[in-house]
A and B are shown apart, each in its own frame.
Chain A
């Protein structure tokens, strides 16, 4: 998202307004869309400043002075993550360099009841690393060493702050790579990937982060060292690794990760196929799967998205097509040849109007260039965009696109669409101008409508970006009060005082009550006996 308008401030108690998330702690509430006046108000708040100096003084007992940041010019870069519309002035940032420093910071914060928000590269899109106004940001940026790449066991052990792509680069000399490839892989860290259970383009065939991580080492909230998973394929007891991965930094702090490496496919080729209408493109996706093919990647772009990326990368995309599919096969040359032939038959039978198979690596990358640049290209045609991330059953793709077209009329905003069609994961990009408060409001409603429609179609409100702060309201739609209470019980089993990244992922009852007054869950109206008008 581009620079959001900085419009609003309140440090009052939660009002029920969807933009305030009440948080446990010292009575501060989270501040969204902070203005410069808001920032100065916070800084002028004497109780906040006093708490800040107490916390800094305490931290100086366990960390060198240069590892603690509290001046506004130093903390400003930490006010938000990739969800830039939501900003909070962080009280203190700590940058530990050793595991024993991490343990000491956690132990101290636990004793003083200070909330902790662990942070990697800050590229997350759902506000998972948005600061807590009364908390400490635990930046793990200095944990950036690759500890071991072991070609014999096809594993790598790396510190949490190592970038996703750096793992594959370190493994490349051995013909190996780390499979999950979120589009931010050049910048995002493996610790953040573990927190979000990040995906990417190749998930159907190669799995998510969970499927490619063997072991996570780190610390419990009170600073006690802990290890989840093992170097073997499983570990005794409950499968805690499953619940740590994707827990958005709320259950434990990750400092070291052992990942699986797999042999790099000898060859990859990509088919680009055009379709005259979105129904036949949607049906083509289902047909590929129905024929027993698991593509390495299968992506879809709609006409508006294609036009935007063509203007950006000039890759000779078919501008007449209602939708374009990119369908990739990888493996040995024999496998790829056989699979491409099967894919071609299926896509032609499904009514592809234009059809091209990449001849060489240069052309394959050209096919992908537009898809990989979908987000920046959208930034080129609109001042701001909001990226959604729901997943729906594949069979509903065309229906969803039709619904989004209706929403464009309803909310008077444009939306361009790029889908990981392979697993039904949608990234509609709603285009808006954040300088226009009414557009911002309509954009939020549009986004909520997409998420609720996704749940109604049998899907989920987030496929790979996480809930963070952004999708708290949508969690009220997808989960019942009892289910959300069970999430809280799980959280408390790891973190009884709820100090790790509090206020994220699990909405409060109050928030859902406000948001859910007229919302429909799983086809059931609340209080169905009441008349509705």
Chain B
């Protein structure tokens, strides 16, 4: 990315201004994930001007796009060539951007089989809190030159710097897919998923909710039809299945949205990340289980301590995804040693603490 680029120069001016004033900046793309993380403070630093796909060569399986590029624009360009972002990032609204997708680091239903956003990031250009435009990683799949700084930025919620441009590994859209539905209780569904994981089956995604398990198969035609025959269940038509998975992916299903009624009952939406083999967590509230058991969404009014303890007992962690009250802390607390590394990394990238202060952890 060219440091002389005018939109970049303008952003750099704002960054240098903030450094001089010791003022906070909140990095903003499409403002579709405002609800996520701790409170955003400071003057908005908009990435909208950093827009457009810089390079896309389907045979290289790499696309490079600037941070403010709409995710919808990127996905449309990929789909035209039969390719996709295999990690299925959630689209909370139409304006979501590539930079926001990477900074939030959230992945969708295919994560358990295809990997996460982080797994698909190959390189990045970052504007740091020192006012420097730096490039790490590259446009090739295998690259171990220097520390993997670009992947460190994924899910950092902007606390280390402004993501200017990202190169992503992309993959072909599966030749065949099929969705199967099973009427199973939580315990049985989790046991089946655990058993299937040990076999070479083309399971691309799974979601259990209210006594129903949906499984999406994807891969070669022969593999998908053989798996359909083997697993049984009820096959869902392609069009409704696609709509159903989109609602899970984009968290637009009513389960994920804390409406007024739910809020008045004091409910929050939690995301519990636990080893897939954990049995039922026995927590009060409504649950939606993805990633073959490794991601459990919980809508509940239960005490935060109860939820965090249950996640920790299962060797996992719990994130307060949506809530009227974030005082319990959005993310599970870190060990002392890891928090010290976080603080030093913040210092290393953003010594004046201008970028998204407190958005990941209060005080960081």
Contact in complex: A233, B116 (CB < 8 Å): yes
Partner of A152, one of B118, B221, B277: B277
In the complex, chain B residues 318-364 whose Cβ is within 8 Å of any chain A Cβ: 319, 331-335, 337-338, 341-342, 344-345, 347-349, 360-361
Indicate with 1 or 0, residue by residue over A483-509, a CB within 8 angstroms of chain B CB atoms. 110110111111010000000011000
- Among residues of B, the one whose C-beta sits closest to the C-beta of A228 is B338
B200 within 8 A of A: yes
- Among residues of A, the one whose C-beta sits closest to the C-beta of B330 is A236
Contact in complex: B151, A334 (CB < 8 Å): no
B238 within 8 A of A: no
Partner of A338, one of B149, B220, B334, B335: B220
Indicate with 1 or 0, residue by residue over A404-445, a CB within 8 angstroms of chain B CB atoms. 000000000000000010011100000000000000000000
Partner of B118, one of A236, A242, A391, A480: A242
Partner of B342, one of A237, A471, A506: A237
B105 within 8 A of A: yes
Minimum Cβ distance to chain B for residue A476 (Å) = 11
B304 within 8 A of A: no
Interface locus among A6-14, A197-205, A305-313:
A197-205
Contacts of A494 in B (CB 8 A): 341, 344
Contact in complex: B200, A332 (CB < 8 Å): yes
Contact in complex: B115, A207 (CB < 8 Å): yes
Number of A-B contacts (CB under 8 A): 256
Q: A153-B275, A235-B317, A236-B331 in contact; A478/B145 too (CB < 8 A)? A: yes
Q: In the bound complex, what is the Cα–Cα distance between A207 and B118 (angstroms)?
A: 12
Q: In the bound complex, what is the Cα–Cα distance between A489 and B132 (angstroms)?
A: 13
Partner of A458, one of B139, B154, B332: B139
Contacts of A247 in B (CB 8 A): 147
Contact in complex: A294, B171 (CB < 8 Å): yes
Minimum Cβ distance to chain B for residue A11 (Å) = 29
B63 within 8 A of A: no
Contact in complex: A335, B360 (CB < 8 Å): no
Contacts of B265 in A (CB 8 A): none
Interface locus among B17-25, B53-61, B179-187:
B53-61
Contacts of A232 in B (CB 8 A): 273-275, 294, 315-317
A289 within 8 A of B: yes
Interface locus among B68-76, B191-199, B206-214, B253-261:
B191-199
- Among residues of A, the one whose C-beta sits closest to the C-beta of B336 is A224
Q: In the bound complex, what is the Cα–Cα distance between A246 and B342 (angstroms)?
A: 19
Q: A239-B154, A332-B223, A424-B140 in contact; A290/B59 too (CB < 8 A)? A: yes
Minimum Cβ distance to chain A for residue B158 (Å) = 12
A349 within 8 A of B: no
Minimum Cβ distance to chain A for residue B204 (Å) = 14
Contact in complex: A243, B151 (CB < 8 Å): yes
In the complex, chain B residues 119-172 whose Cβ is within 8 Å of any chain A Cβ: 119, 128, 132, 134-136, 138-149, 151-152, 154-156, 159-160, 171-172
Interface locus among A74-82, A129-137, A261-269, A273-281:
A261-269
A154 within 8 A of B: yes
A99 within 8 A of B: no
A452 within 8 A of B: no
A362 within 8 A of B: no
Contacts of A482 in B (CB 8 A): 132, 134
B112 within 8 A of A: yes
Contact in complex: A204, B141 (CB < 8 Å): yes
Contact in complex: B140, A459 (CB < 8 Å): yes
Contacts of B194 in A (CB 8 A): 152
Q: A230-B316, A465-B144 in contact; A236/B332 too (CB < 8 A)? A: yes
Q: In the bound complex, what is the Cα–Cα distance between A238 and B361 (angstroms)?
A: 10
Contacts of B342 in A (CB 8 A): 237-238
A245 within 8 A of B: yes
Q: A233-B111, A243-B152, A265-B200 in contact; A490/B141 too (CB < 8 A)? A: no
- Among residues of B, the one whose C-beta sits closest to the C-beta of A234 is B273
Contacts of A207 in B (CB 8 A): 115, 119
B219 within 8 A of A: yes
A220 within 8 A of B: yes
B295 within 8 A of A: yes
B173 within 8 A of A: yes
Q: In the bound complex, what is the Cα–Cα distance between A234 and B311 (angstroms)?
A: 13
Contacts of A424 in B (CB 8 A): 140-142
Minimum Cβ distance to chain A for residue B281 (Å) = 12
Contacts of B319 in A (CB 8 A): 236
Contacts of B171 in A (CB 8 A): 294
Indicate with 1 or 0, residue by residue over B207-231, a CB within 8 angstroms of chain A CB atoms. 0000000000001111101100000
Partner of B82, one of A251, A292, A471, A479: A292
Partner of B198, one of A176, A461, A471: A176
Indicate with 1 or 0, residue by residue over A214-257, a CB within 8 angstroms of chain B CB atoms. 00000010001111001111111111101101110001000000
Partner of B151, one of A151, A242, A459, A464: A242
- Among residues of A, the one whose C-beta sits closest to the C-beta of B271 is A234
A447 within 8 A of B: no
17 sampled A-B residue pairs with Cβ under 8 A? A204-B61, A210-B148, A232-B273, A233-B295, A237-B331, A238-B152, A240-B152, A240-B338, A240-B341, A289-B59, A290-B58, A293-B172, A335-B223, A424-B142, A463-B143, A486-B128, A490-B149
**Chain A interface residues (CB < 8 Å from chain B):** 150-155, 174-176, 196-197, 199, 203-204, 207-208, 210-211, 220, 224-227, 230-240, 242-243, 245-247, 251, 263-266, 286-287, 289-290, 292-294, 331-332, 334-335, 337-339, 391-395, 420, 423-425, 458-467, 471, 474-475, 478-480, 482-484, 486-487, 489-494, 496, 505-506
